[in-house]
């Protein structure tokens, strides 16, 4: 399972970086579809780590170590960022028709939310990676 999680995490990181500019790589259509797909994989990532989430949620105010609490708070903020990116991406989508969802709001509002939530989330993903760097090196079998 750890090997699968590691490969999934690497792919998530690569695709997130590729998605940062919707006009690069394969264009807006790729950006929109890949954004939806990465949302599904983010949910899968959350489910694969559900036992940790449950354990830290239960012991958050009593027995969870400080590092686990920091990771937990960061992960909750990242979840909010991912939800905002997906919803706002749906709100500004051009190549996929989501008009049936009737989200309302102006295109400028959704674009500002999409841009700001993606930039903030990118920074938070960097922090998340840094906090898990020893785990990454261990999976790559690199000694410090």
Percentage with pLDDT > 90 across the chain? 12
> Would the CA dihedral through 103, 104, 105, 110 be positive or negative?
positive
pLDDT category, 144, cuts 50, 70, 90? low
Query: Quick check: pTM over 0.85?
Result: no
pLDDT at residue 108 in the model = 92
The span from the CA of 4 to the CA of 10, in Å, is 10
Most confident listed range (49-53, 89-93, 135-139) = 89-93
Long-range CB contacts (within 8 A, 24+) of 30-34: 32/89, 32/93, 32/94, 32/95, 32/96, 33/95, 33/96
- pLDDT (mean) for 118-134: 87
């Amino acid at each position: 399972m750890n090997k699968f999680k590691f490969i999934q995490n690497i792919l998530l990181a690569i695709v997130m970086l590729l998605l940062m500019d919707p006009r690069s790589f394969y264009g807006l259509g790729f950006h929109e579809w890949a954004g939806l797909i990465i949302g599904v994989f983010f949910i899968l990532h959350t489910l694969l780590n559900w036992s940790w989430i449950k354990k830290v949620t239960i012991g958050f105010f009593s027995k969870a170590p400080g590092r686990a609490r920091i990771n937990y708070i960061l992960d909750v903020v990242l979840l909010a960022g991912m939800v905002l990116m997906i919803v706002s991406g749906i709100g500004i989508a051009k190549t996929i028709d989501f008009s049936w969802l009737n989200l309302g709001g102006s295109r400028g509002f959704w674009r500002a939310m999409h841009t700001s939530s993606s930039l903030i989330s990118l920074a938070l993903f960097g922090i998340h990676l840094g906090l898990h760097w020893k785990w990454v090196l261990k999976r790559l079998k690199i000694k410090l």
